[in-house]
Amino acid sequence: MIQLTPQMRLLVAVAPVDFRCGIDGLARRCREVLREDPLSGAVLVFRNRRRTAVKVLVYDGQGFWLCHKRLSSGRFRWWPSRADEAVDALRAHELQVLLSAGDPRATQGAPEWRRLASHEATAG
């Protein structure tokens, strides 16, 4: 089972891919186009040209997971469109929103890291 955690690296491919390719084709695209190692454990998200489906590729240390979601109706409303980059990063809660066909940039979560007050500063 795949569980998304805040510590995971979550990457979204900007350009659409041909969904006829499977694990090997997406892993090759990771290396050649995204300049990412598909064996790194990063969660890699791809979309088809019509924005009606996504594929998620992740290596868990034993093998690859390939998940495919096709919407019953409509399209994925949001997708990164950075012309200067092949890949865009998301946070765990943003990927959950994206997979629900929502706009992850419209969500707001707690900061990923925040300094905690030291015990000495609060005890004085």
Tens-digit pLDDT profile for residues 20-38: 999 999 999 999 999 999 9
Is the Cβ–Cβ distance between 44 and 58 less than 8 Å? yes
Query: Which is more confidently placed, 52 or 114?
Result: 52
> What is the signed CA dihedral for 12, 13, 19, 24, rounded to 10 degrees?
-90
pTM score of the predicted model: 0.84
User: 40: which 2 tokens?
Assistant: 């790194």
Is the Cβ–Cβ distance between 45 and 54 less than 8 Å? yes
At 122 the pLDDT is: 56
Task: Give the three-class secondary structure for 60.
Answer: coil
At 84 the pLDDT is: 81
Is the Cβ–Cβ distance between 56 and 108 less than 8 Å? no
β-bridge pairing 10-13 and 87-90 = antiparallel
